Amino acid sequence: MENFRIEHDSMGEVKVPADKLWGAQTERSHENFLIGVGIETMPREITKAFGYLKKAAALANNELKPEKMTAEKKDCICKACDEVISGALNDNFPLVVWQTGSGTQSNMNTNEVIANRANQIAGKKLCHPNDDVNMSQSSNDTFPTALHIAATVEIEDKLLPAIDLLAGTFRQLEKDNEGIVKSGRTHLQDAVPIKFSQEISGWRTSLERDREMIVSTLPYLKQLALGGTAVGTGLNAPKGFDVLVAKKVSELTGKDFITAPNKFHALSSKDEVAFAHGALKALAADLMKIANDVRWLASGPRDGLGEIRIPENEPGSSIMPGKVNPTQCEAMTMVAVQVMGNDTAVGVAASQGNFELNVFMPVIAYNFLQSVRLLAEVMVSFNKNCAVGIKADKEKMHFNLHNSLMLVTALNPYIGYENAAKTSHLAYEKNISLKEACVQLGFLTAEKFDEVFHPEQMA
């Protein structure tokens, strides 16, 4: 028994694996783009988004052109789309990111899979990939639509909850550590005191502000190119299709999508995605800062700052027994670096909208969705395996605080800036306390120093 079947397209016949639902155009791409096979396939978030938009298109076409999109065709296509959305047909989407820049082959992959599965459901040859599944559409408006749907769904359903989770943990840590005063640090040097809860509040607020910025990009991502067809004119799409299909996508996803007001812009410009990824980069930058703060504060355990303790999750060395490393911090910083690199790729790709179409869309989709996925997953991991277990080492914080020369700032109102500087320099040079230096220089008596010097009240 042969393990392939013969499919055909406008270029002729093609052998397709017998157990797969894709057709001739998918197979040609599968054979012609052996780049990153099995590793850099089109993101499943895009595949799922295509399932939503093809179902929405079938529903809209049935209302606007029932003589062509019959109820029978619509029902079979919708059932096939549901299987695409659920992931049941994922094995039938083999194409890589590194293909045509318009995503045409992934659009056709979807059309062929849905058509063949619809025909299986119907028990007859009922649906055609181009004429039925792709009715009123073009690859040029479907791929950017799939990108916007996937970006919106992943941000709202995966990324925002992860931000809320970590921010919530920091909020609890603020409460748990209220009243603990420690040395502040600027330029990686000792600075005036700060409450540990205040330091944590900076981390929390950074996440909350990043969330606000990410949310501010969603109204732009929720504008869909669908209905613009090949070049933005809407050729071969019935009047009102764009508005109706956006409504259908909204109903299917539970997100409030609208049709893009200018389809020429929607097909050729990827500025909305570049803007949104900029907000993702801002989040990555703050996660880098937070992770670095945590691992610096936890450094040691004896020869570092050692002001906090973090969970010990796994051995840190193959040669040094007992060593434990801040691995969750390292994972988060690596994700931050990847997202920053992705931002460059997305920005350059977004600049390539020549005439009526941007032809760098698969690489934009790949990098954007990877950024969302990595950011969400690393925050969940960092929260579970590090943040919830952060404990203040009060003794070390107290020691570092009272050993800091920058406490001399508290003396400015009593002896002036220049005399306070002299006190600090003498204490450092002779390795003596600020009190000893101040008294030795004759700026304050020991009794007066004790009266005015209260580090914990400086925060």
Active site residues: 187, 317
Torsion over CA of 430, 436, 438 and 439, rounded to 10 degrees?
A: -130
Residue 432 backbone zone (phi > 0: left; psi -120 to 50: alpha; other: beta): beta
Q: Report d(CA 50, CA 55) in Å as an integer.
A: 8
| Strand 391-392, strand 308-309: pairing | antiparallel
The residue type at 233: T
Question: For the chain, what is the largest distance between any 2 Cα atoms, rounded to a whole number of angstroms?
Answer: 102
What DSSP designation does 229 have? T
State both tokens at 116: 């063949």
419: Cβ contacts below 8 Å, ≥ 6 apart: 411, 441, 443
Residue found by looking up tokens 């094995």 in the block: 91
Degrees to nearest 5, angle at CA 279 with 267 and 388: 140
Instruction: Note whether 224 and 260 are within 8 A (CB).
Output: yes
Spatial distance between the Cα atoms of 14 and 355, rounded to a whole number of angstroms: 33
> Side chain identity at 88, as an amino acid letter?
A
Environment class of residue 160 by beta-carbon count within 10 Å: exposed (0-12), middle (13-18) or buried (19+)? middle
Q: Measured between alpha carbons, how far is 227 from 239 in angstroms, rounded to an integer?
A: 9
Give me the half-sphere count of Cα atoms (radius 13 Å) on the Cβ side of residue 314. Answer: 5
Taking a C-beta distance cutoff of 8 angstroms, is the pair 345, 363 a contact?
Answer: yes
Distance spanning both ends of the chain, measured CA to CA: 80
